[in-house]
Amino acid sequence: GNESSKESSSPFPESKGSSLSSRLKDRLHLHSIRRHLHLRHGSGGSGSSAVRKLLDADHFAGIALLTLLRAEMEFKDKWLACVSFGEQTFRTQISDHTDKPIWNSDKKLLLEKDGPHVARISVFETNKLSSNKLIGYCEINLLEFLTQGMNSDFEIIDLLDPSSSDLVVGKIYISCSVEDPIETETGFARRILSIVDYNQDGNLSFSEFSDLINAFGNQLAAEKREELFKAADKNGDGVVSMDELAALLTVQQEKEPIMTCCPVCGESLDVSDNLNNIIHLTLCFDEGTGNQVMTGGFLTDSQASYGWIFKLSEWAHYSSYDVGLKSGSSASHILVFDRRTKRLLEELIDGKIVLSMRAIYQSKMGLGLIDKGAKELLQSISEKQGRKMSSVESAKDIPNFVDFFKGQINLAEAKHPLEHYKTFNEFFVRELKPGARPIAFMERDDVAVCAADCRLMAFKSVDDSLRFWIKGRKFSIKGLLGQEVCSKAFVDGSLVIFRLAPQDYHRFHLPVSGTIEKFVDIPGCLYTVNPIAVNSKYCNVFTENKRVVSIISTEDFGKVAFVAIGATMVGSITFLKNEGDRVKKGEQFGYFSFGG
């Protein structure tokens, strides 16, 4: 890094002479060099090789990299340490059985002038007899810590007995430094650009770049975007490398902020405080990706509900949520063939939704997110949404929903007028008037019919379905149906996928006549069943989602497996028939509703 060039391009003034800021400045400068060396000598850590930047304590904002190196305790056991800072808590892995545990765990913490400064570190012993028993703790004022003169790369701090603060029960070795703001900005730009690099070739097209700008909620004029893009595209071949664009964006962000809201938590960003924004974004992304050695402090429900990375509630209400892919997972719009009108409909998916889904279901970052607790988060959000949608207050959302999907919901077909529905869920699972859906060849049980108002995919064999649609590497009929009901005949059988969109009539009907032989509940996750997820090689939504498999025994088709699969937000599955019931094709079989 070139220190002088960084200083000249930084939007942050140097220290104006207060003693605290001077000390901080010196401390950061010295410590950054030490820290840099320390990291390069392989003590673990995030892998950042940034040289630290001097900061002004009066307008202090920075990412402090706190590292819990090791501890010396008075007895042998397995140990873990927690860092609590502000409203967040993070923990290390569990050490080996020893009296000198080594963690080398990093955590990036946001330090602001008016934000929290004191980090509390707690050390727990953990074993079968006393799981996670607090043995010692210490508190560190990070701002002061960073302003103190230090002669080594780490500090040794006494761990105090929680029941008697006079009693020292061990020592902990920590290190703390501040990340270089320019490196933070560039690194962040590089990371975020990689999300829109769909083919992962390290280059971005203009449309990919444009998608990203849209996702940041920026209405930057088209000419301005082109201007920026062209500035980076030096050889004029229409693509630019991510590194080039990251560098350009960093400079541009300082001149004229491009990002106006956080894509992870949805919080509005203060356009006048660029570094704070980048810090905020970096930390949000780190939380989401589990990029750090220390785990925990995962996205909260409220964070998860806002922002494009994880704005699940938004997915459930987007008109474009339902459309299929034009050509596999690389397309940003989906073609659907309307069987009734025999017209090809092309529907664009909102760029935010495409990015969200790709980020989660088609990227390694998304995988990290899923590994780090997104399954539980999806479940909890869906349950919460279920409770909300079953409350009397939710009825007020019905008119908005109908208005949003104007032209796609035909209220004249509903069995009851709008005011009949006392909750949103009641409306969501509304019945239709008798005869609203004529059943083809009603008198002939040898003709199967469609089971839902939906987007349908049909394949003669599983191989065809894998070739044309389902890209999850682990998909199989056995995985879908489960061991209990799967048979050789099903494994080699035909597959029909009925995908319901939020605005659709949400009851499913019987496709064939016969007898309900059995129902098998299979617990699981609540990933989205959008084509973007179905088309992802990383995601196996059909075999991992919560579902109910029913077997219908028929005279004309043998056994038919009917699998109702729950999805994000709409995870509640209700059946209106019972085992042993004799059923007729076209009859209502059940419905999906909001809930877990």
Partner 1 sequence: STVICVFEKDSINIDEDLLANSARSLETLVSVGMKLGVSRKASDVVLPNLETCSIQ
Q: Which of residues 566-595 bind partner 1 (CB under 8 A)?
A: 566-567, 570, 573, 586, 592
How far CA 218 is from CA of 268, 271, 305, 475, 519, in Å, comes to 12, 12, 20, 39, 49
Q: How many CB atoms lie within 10 A of CB 353?
A: 23
**Distance between CA 314 and CA 303 in Å, rounded?**
13
Shortest Cβ 521–partner 1 spacing (Å): 15
Closer Cβ to partner 1, 290 or 590, answer by number: 590
Residues 118-157 as x/- pattern, contact with partner 1 by CB under 8 A: ----------------------------------------
CB closer to partner 1 out of 147 and 550: 550
Residue listed under structure tokens 């929680």 = 162
Task: Calculate the CA dihedral of residues 578, 579, 581, 587 and round it to 10 degrees.
Answer: 50
Question: Closest approach of Cβ 542 to partner 1, in Å?
Answer: 7
Q: Look up residue 523 and give its two tokens.
A: 């617990």
Dist. CA 53–CA 24, nearest whole Å: 11
Binding-site member from 195, 490, 516, 524 for partner 1 (CB under 8 A): 490
CA atoms within 13 A on the CB side of 530: 31
Q: Which two tokens stand for residue 564?
A: 């109702």
Among 9, 487, 515, 574, contact with partner 1 (rule: CB under 8 A): 487
Structure tokens, 195: 């999300």
CB atoms within 10 A of CB 336: 17
Shortest distance in whole angstroms from residue 491 CB to partner 1: 8
* Closest C-alpha to 145, from 229, 65, 237, 248: 65
Give the H/E segment covering residue 468.
helix 462-468
For partner 1, the closer of residues 85 and 542 by Cβ is 542
Q: Which residues between 196 and 215 bind partner 1 (CB under 8 A)?
A: none
> Which of 207, 337, 411, 473: binder of partner 1 (CB under 8 A)?
337
| CA-angle at 382, arms to 380 and 283, nearest 5° | 55
Which residue lies nearer to partner 1 by CB, 145 or 315? 315
Contact call for residue 336 and partner 1 (CB under 8 A): yes
What's the CA gap between 39 and 59, in Å, rounded?
27
Residues 344 to 403 in contact with partner 1, rule: CB under 8 A: 345
What one-character DSSP code corresponds to residue 36? Answer: H
For partner 1, which residue of 166, 223, 237, 338 counts as binding (CB under 8 A)? Answer: 338
Q: 115 is written with which tokens? A: 């934000």
- The residue type of 108 is K
- Kindly tell me the sign of the dihedral angle through the C-alpha atoms of 243, 246, 250, 256: positive
With binding defined as CB under 8 A, does residue 539 bind partner 1?
A: no
Is there binding between residue 531 and partner 1 (CB under 8 A)? yes
Size of the site for partner 1 (CB under 8 A): 76
Should residue 251 be labelled a site residue for partner 1 when binding is judged by CB under 8 A? Answer: no
DSSP H helices, 362-415, are 364-369, 375-389, 397-404
Q: Is 497 a residue that touches partner 1 (CB under 8 A)?
A: yes
**Contacting partner 1 (CB under 8 A), which of 263, 511, 514, 596?**
511
For partner 1, give the closer residue by CB, 186 or 535: 535
CB of 224 to partner 1, least distance (A): 36
Query: Is residue 509 close enough to count as binding partner 1 by CB under 8 A?
Result: yes
In the list 529, 532, 539, 583, the residue contacting partner 1 (rule: CB under 8 A) is 529
**Separation CA 297–CA 541 (nearest Å):** 26
User: Is the CB of 153 or the CB of 453 nearer to partner 1?
Assistant: 453
> Does residue 516 bind partner 1 (CB under 8 A)?
no
Q: What span, in angstroms and rounded, lies between the C-alpha atoms of 577 and 204?
A: 52
Options 24-32, 78-86, 319-327, 397-405: segment touching partner 1 (CB under 8 A): 319-327
Q: Is 441 in the site for partner 1 (CB under 8 A)?
A: yes
As measured in angstroms, the least distance from the Cβ of 323 to partner 1 is 8
Tell me the closest approach of the beta carbon of residue 185 to partner 1, in angstroms: 40
Task: Identify the residue among 190, 317, 437, 577 touching partner 1 (CB under 8 A).
Answer: 437
User: Between residue 83 and residue 112, which ones bind partner 1 under the rule CB under 8 A?
Assistant: none
> Alpha helix (H) ranges present in 524-579?
531-534, 541-544
Out of 91, 108, 311, 506, name the contact with partner 1 by CB under 8 A. 506
- 3-class secondary structure, 281: helix
Give yes or no for residue 327 binding partner 1 (CB under 8 A).
yes
CB of 589 to partner 1, least distance (A): 9
Task: Choose between 418 and 440: whose C-beta lies nearer to partner 1.
Answer: 440
Q: Which residue has the tokens 């989660």?
A: 360
Q: Per-residue string for binding with partner 1, 15-54, x by CB under 8 A?
A: ----------------------------------------
Q: How far apart are CA 362 and CA 355, in angstroms?
A: 10
Q: Where in 444-483 is the site for partner 1 (CB under 8 A)?
A: 444, 446-460, 464, 468-469, 477, 480-481
Q: Which stretch binds partner 1 (CB under 8 A): 6-14, 177-185, 349-357, 489-497?
A: 489-497
Tokens 């006494």: give the residue: 158
To 5 degrees, how large is the angle CA 365–CA 179–CA 191?
25
Among the listed ranges 48-56, 81-89, 103-111, 557-565, the one in contact with partner 1 (CB under 8 A) is 557-565
- Please list, in sequence order, all residues whose beta carbon lies within 8 angstroms of the beta carbon of residue 85, skipping any fewer than 6 positions away: 107, 109, 116, 118, 119, 120, 142
Question: Structure tokens of 177?
Answer: 């430094």
Nearer to partner 1, 224 or 317 (CB): 317
Helix (H, G, I), strand (E, B) or coil at 120: strand
Residue choice 110, 146, 278, 325 for contact with partner 1 (CB under 8 A): 325
Whose tokens are 């009925």? That residue is 498
